[in-house]
Amino acid sequence: MEIAIIGGGITGLALAMHLHKRGKTCRVYEAAPKVKELGVGITLLPHAMHEFRELGLEQDLLKAGIENRESCFFNRFGQLIYKEPRGKFAGYETPEVGIHRGRLHMILFQAARERLGAERILEDRKCTGVRQAGGKVFLSLEQTSSGEPLPEIEADIAIACEGVNSTIRKQLYPHDQVVYTGINTWRGTTLMPPILGGRTYMRVGSIRTGKIVIYPIVDDYDGQGNQLINWMAEIETGDTSQRNDWNKPGELKDFYHLYENWTFDWLDVAKMIRDAGSILEYPMVDKEPVGRWTFGRVTLAGDAAHPMYPRGSNGAAQGVIDARTLAGHLAATDDGEAALKAYEDDRIEKTAAVVRTNRRNPPDFINIKVEELVGDKPFENLDDYITQDELRALSDGYKKVAGFSLDSLKQRPE
């Protein structure tokens, strides 16, 4: 069975390695002319690290990133609302790791090339469409760098892993559109001394009055003890017509005014933003869950299948779970179409639940809830409004839906 993987991102590369491990032949077609270390930060939660451990990459990722010890929630006045241990410090078998997305991608890319052979991980190959005939699937390709058409590729199975703007999903769902509800984000990285000991994931404020997520992704980045700190500002404007542009750098004037007075005894947020090496802007978008991913010999995986809000560090995790699940079904039978349908049946409702949860009740719902109860002002005693046990229940509820509660990982099929 010759399997074509369209897209050499996190999901596509993880799928290639899972298939190779199970003795299945595949090729990856990546649109980028040259895979480079790009992007900002990403957090690999314990259920994602379970998947990478199975691929033998846990130690490589730990060395390249930072293991989180705790997650802390603060209001916009810098007061601690709630904190909890994370990863191994919370009893999980695997750690929670903050890492530069580009470093993660390059580790996966190099590992896939070493295991499958460079001739099976092909760059500069943009897939412009697929067709099915005679029990086969055919990929139309062009060279990204030149736009020149390339010979059509024949395979038994094709899996689209090319992200939120998937060409194949658009072919299958011509009227498919991203959903934008008026939330814009700005992301950056800043070189600075460690915050709160240098092993803490922080959520500060809420999207209603200004929110920022902060965590370290590279230790001792400059050889002088400073860390590379990743941050993402998230603002709900309520205006669905003023969406960020993916294709231009972010500007301070568009969002800094909400954070310019955020100077706490434990962090000067305003200075951190001003000192960023660069700022990128993105709209907060997802897509409505669809009722079908598999069409004959073609299916969707990762963000091509279930684009979700980048909250809770769950997009990549769900993608690599897709990869393992799909590889397992393809290894279990010679009937490729049946394997794709079984994969869809396993994953489609689970991921739809995460998409909906990230919209309605994100992990920082804790911050929103406290802001509502207290009235968006500093508090003297938070227990007068809500207890730590109640806040813990909110956090545990999200973990259960997202698939990384302790109980759900203990029940995880191998």
> Are residues 243 and 258 in contact, defined by beta-carbon separation less than 8 angstroms?
no
Place of tokens 């991608």: 105
- The predicted model scores a pTM of 0.91
Which helix H or strand E contains 299, and what residues bound it? Answer: strand 298-300
- Cα–Cα dist 181/237, whole Å: 9
Write out pLDDT tens, residues 64-109.
999 999 999 999 999 999 999 999 999 999 999 999 999 999 999 9
Own/partner long-range contacts of 288-294 (Cβ < 8 Å, ≥24 apart) = 288/179, 289/348, 289/351, 289/352, 289/355, 289/356, 290/173, 290/176, 291/348, 292/344, 292/348, 293/344, 293/348, 294/337, 294/340, 294/341, 294/343, 294/344
- Give the contacts of 62 (CB within 8 A, at least 6 positions apart): 95, 97
Compute the half-sphere exposure of residue 144: CA atoms within 13 Å on the CB side of its CA: 14
pLDDT for position 395 = 84
Write out pLDDT tens, residues 283-339.
888 899 999 999 999 999 999 999 998 766 678 889 999 999 999 999 999 999 999
How much is the CA Rg of the chain, to the nearest whole Å?
A: 21
Write out pLDDT tens, residues 401-413.
655 666 655 544 4
pLDDT for position 338 = 97
Backbone dihedral angles phi then psi of residue 89, each to the nearest 5 degrees: -75, -10
- Label the pairing between strands 97-100 and 66-67: antiparallel
* Structural tokens at position 132: 């099915």
Look up residue 302 and give its DSSP letter.
G
- C-alpha distance from residue 69 to each of 63, 84, 130, 247, 287 (Å): 15, 9, 45, 35, 33
- Cα–Cα dist 251/193, whole Å: 24
Classify domain 2-68+92-177+288-360 by CATH number. Answer: 3.50.50.60
**Sequence spans of domains, the chain:** 2-68+92-177+288-360
* Residue 205 pLDDT grade (very low, low, confident, very high; cuts 50, 70, 90): very high
Write out pLDDT tens, residues 382-403.
999 999 999 998 888 767 765 5
